Amino acid sequence: MTRTEGVVRGRRRLHPAAVAGAAAVAVAAAGAGLAIGPSPIGPLDALAEVASRLPGSPVRSPLGPTQAAIVWEIRLPRVALASLVGAVLALSGGAYQGVFRNPLADPYLLGVAAGAGLGATVAIAAGGAGGGPLGPVPAAAFAGSLAAVALTYLLGAAGDRRRSPASLLLAGVAVASGLTAVQTFVQQRESEVIREVYSWVLGRLTTASWADVAVVVPYAVVASAVILRRRRALDVLAVGDDEAASLGLPVEAVRVQVVVAASLATAAAVSVSGLIGFVGLVVPHTIRLLGGASYRVILPLSLLLGAAFLTLADVAARTALAPAEVPIGVVTALVGAPFFALVLRARRPVPT
């Protein structure tokens, strides 16, 4: 067995207890999101209402029709959307980190955020606000995200036909800078929409509905299936493109599949939630520090703990200044920025 094969085989495997623990954290976070809110509904009452709707459940709901409607039409879709978006962003962040062999890569690396921001800004400036998850702003954000990723891939291919990680990273930086400049120009020309643009850019789950959840679910399911299926391939990629190819891995095909899946899922998430940063950085990086560098561990746990992280961040966002709300992007940044400051201060080598 070669040294490269030994490195790949020696990476830690996912333990069932870790999955069970992460799932328990995700369920507990969802319970907190469902039970905590400005309306005078007790935590146990909210949970009893949900339990009473389960098939064959003997539990009787203590809530009246109005309170039950709050649980089912306001709190539950918000928890579901926060869980989906958090899971998608964390999983995509872990996938990007594997593809680019960089533990600090995030889901917005290839210009997804810049493209979504520009698309949303143009739609808002054109008077297209509203319309729900299929309205002009989410649609423009989704289209802008995909256009940015496509442009990044074309630019990366122009400089390097193999589309190496380095060329794609540089192309992503260039595309993001250019699109951000155009977005700033549009905002300057249409200054009356700046407040609404910033409200979207800072992330929001305040208008979450079951329709938003339905928009994200198909992308989340397909992307998760593709990325998790390639988790062992990402372990092989960690040793380098040439070494991975010598082991029989179709490097370019794996990279394209993972990047496309992660980008589609991220674009769908940001189209309904706005730009929520640091989820795709904090969650996979924390798992890497605690559980090892294998993507067989990082990716499944990122899916579960990303859902928990964003759900709890949303709870903090809607309770910290109640009845007002803090933009959820601000909450995740307040957690993410100190986290990386502590990591850098510790000066511990990051496993790759």
What is the rounded CA–CA span in Å between residue 34 and residue 14? 30
Residue 7 has pLDDT above 50, yes or no: no
pLDDT digits (tens, 9 = 90+) for 285-326: 899 888 888 999 999 999 999 999 999 999 999 888 878 888
The per-residue pLDDT for range 229-239, each reduced to its tens digit, is: 999 999 998 88
Question: What is 3-346's CATH topology?
Answer: ABC transporter involved in vitamin B12 uptake, BtuC (1.10.3470)
Q: Which two tokens stand for residue 95?
A: 């996938």
Tokens of 209: 């509905």
Output the pLDDT for position 154. Answer: 86
DSSP for 16-47 reads: HHHHHHHHHHHHHHHHHHHH-SSSS--HHHHH
Count Cβ atoms within 10 A of the Cβ of residue 316 and give its class: 0-12 exposed, 13-18 middle, 19 or more buried: middle
Give the model's confidence band at 4: pLDDT under 50 very low, under 70 low, under 90 confident, else very high.
very low
pTM above threshold 0.85: yes
pLDDT of 265 over the 70 cut: yes
pLDDT at position 207 is 82
Whether 149 and 215 have beta carbons less than 8 Å apart is answered as: no
| Strand segments (E) across 64-189 | none
Instruction: Decide if pLDDT at 137 tops 70.
Output: yes
Cα–Cα distance measured from residue 311 to residue 305, given in angstroms and rounded to the nearest whole number: 10
Give the pLDDT band of residue 3 (cuts 50, 70, 90): very low
Predicted pLDDT at 222:
94
Distance from the Cα of residue 18 to its chain's centroid:
21
- Sole residue written with tokens 């921001």: 117
Q: What is the DSSP letter of 115?
A: H
Query: Which of 234, 231, 219 has its CA nearest to residue 112?
Result: 219
Q: Is the pLDDT reported for residue 127 higher than 90? A: no
Q: Report the candidate in 30, 34, 39, 31 with the shortest Cα–Cα distance to residue 323.
A: 39
**Helices H, strands E: what count in the chain?**
16, 0
Average pLDDT over residues 35-63: 82
Q: List the one residue out of 175, 5, 103, 178 whose CA is nearest residue 350.
A: 103
What residue spans define the domains of the chain?
A: 3-346
Predicted confidence (pLDDT) per residue in 147-170, tens digit: 999 898 888 877 666 667 778 888
**Mean residue pLDDT across the chain:** 85
pLDDT value of residue 161: 61
pLDDT of residue 11: 56
The pLDDT, as a whole number, for residue 223 is 93
Q: CA–CA separation, 71 vs 282, rounded Å?
A: 30
Residue keyed to tokens 């959307």: 81
Among the listed ranges 1-15, 193-207, 235-249, 301-315, which one has the minimum average pLDDT value?
1-15
Please tell me the distance from the alpha carbon of residue 49 to that of residue 27, in angstroms, as a whole number.
16
Residues with Cβ within 8 Å of residue 205, at least 6 apart in sequence: 78, 81, 82, 85, 273, 314, 317, 328
Helix (H, G, I), strand (E, B) or coil at 11: coil
Measured CA to CA, the distance from residue 327 to residue 277 in angstroms comes to 11
Answer whether residue 6 shows pLDDT above 60.
Answer: no
Per-residue confidence (pLDDT) for residue 84, from 0 to 100: 96
How does residue 220 score in pLDDT terms, banded at 50, 70 and 90?
very high
**Residue 146: CB partners within 8 Å, gap ≥ 6?**
115, 263, 264, 267
Q: Report whether 325 contacts 205 (CB < 8 A).
A: no
Instruction: Report d(CA 18, CA 40) in Å as an integer.
Output: 36
Q: Which residue has the higher pLDDT, 307 or 345?
A: 307
CB 165 within 8 A of CB 102: yes
Residue 25 has pLDDT above 60, yes or no: yes
Tell me how far apart the alpha carbons of residues 280 and 128 are, in angstroms, rounded to a whole number.
29
Q: Bigger pLDDT: 346 or 123?
A: 123
* For residue 254, pLDDT beyond 50: yes
What burial letters (b/e) apply to 136-175, b meaning 16+ CB within 10 Å? bbbbbbbbbbbbbbbbbbebbeeeeeebbbebbbbbbebb
- Residue 261, helix vs strand vs coil: helix
Whole-Å CA distances, 251 to 133, 233, 294: 36, 9, 18
Separation CA 16–CA 20 (nearest Å): 6
The residue ranking higher by pLDDT, 140 or 103, is 140
DSSP summary character for residue 321: T
